[in-house]
A = this chain, B = another copy of it.
Amino acid sequence: MDLSAARPLAGGITEREFTLDAVPGILWTPARASASAPVPLILLGQPGGIGLRRMYPALAARARSAAADGIATVTLELPGAGQRPPLPGADAVRAELRQALAAGEQPTEEVIDRLILPLVEAGVPEWQRTLDAVLGLPEIGGRVGVSGGVIAMGVRLALVDSRIAAAGLFAGSFVPRTTLAEARRVRIPLHVLLQWDDEGNDRGRALELFDAFGSPEKTLYANMGGHTGVPAFAGADAARFFARHLGRR
């Protein structure tokens, strides 16, 4: 991992850009984190295809909130986003998706698979390498969470990476059938956000996914409003979920 110099931001938080195998990312740490007092980590997911630069304000706000709870955060440009080359077939399947939605139809399972699964297959191993690198830093240690972004990626990471102790998921993107099947094998504590009136989202599928999770502790937290309308108090309750599960015991 190629880390830039630490840049102090307002509010006791340090920002470092990095590249990992030429993919850009950002690491935020509470300024007081040190080798003798290492902090837990949350991996921040992102929506597909938007890119780190446009997502920066929202990501930095979540990083600040986590840092106030003594938790570091890291995010990585997704495959196909920002300056990264598009995933094979991505343009074609997005065109098919737009066509279906414009016709007032739900996309088929096959379109959802082609839209989401390549991102999961390419992105999750990159997230794991990011965790390898960041958890090697002396000031990072303890439990690891994953928060937000493409929900199929969060579910896959929670399933395949035993370092993930808790997941805050946003049921606001398409859920492939594979993800439903994987959800049954997930056992870690979950906090699942759902926007009840999310225009582009299949609420029934989201409820089916929540029901499928095998975790003994799972909370569905549904609020009014569209995809981008998550209220501030929902963010605060999600932050408490992570503080409860990642904080010092």
A residues neighboring B (CB under 8 Å)? 194, 196, 207, 210-211, 215-224, 231, 233-234, 236-237, 240-241, 244
CB distance from A245 to the nearest CB of B (A): 10
**In the bound complex, what is the Cα–Cα distance between A221 and B210 (angstroms)?**
12
Q: List 15 A-B contacts (CB under 8 A).
A: A196-B211, A196-B218, A216-B224, A217-B231, A218-B223, A218-B224, A219-B222, A219-B223, A220-B220, A220-B222, A220-B223, A221-B222, A222-B222, A233-B241, A236-B240
Nearest CB of chain B from residue A210's CB, rounded to whole Å: 7
Interface majority SS (helix, strand, loop, mixed), chain A: mixed
Per the bound structure, the CA–CA distance linking A189 and B206 in Å amounts to 24
Query: Nearest-CB distance from A58 to chain B (Å)?
Result: 21
Q: Which residues from B are CB-within-8-Å of A231?
A: 217
Cross-chain contact B220 with A219 (CB below 8 angstroms)? no
Known: A207-B207, A237-B237. A196 touches B224 (CB 8 A): no
Question: Which chain B residues lie closer than 8 Å to A220 at the CB level?
Answer: 194, 196, 220-223
Which residue of the partner chain B has the closest CB to A224? B218
Which residues in B have their C-beta under 8 angstroms from that of A207?
A: 207
- Assembly CA distance A217 to B220 (angstroms): 16
Roughly how many angstroms separate A235 CA and B237 CA in the complex, as a whole number? 12
Distance, CA A221 to CA B244, complexed state (A): 17
Among the interface residues A216, A217, A241, which one has the most CB atoms of the partner chain B within 10 A?
A217
The interface residues of chain B lying within 8 Å CB-to-CB of A240 are 233, 236-237
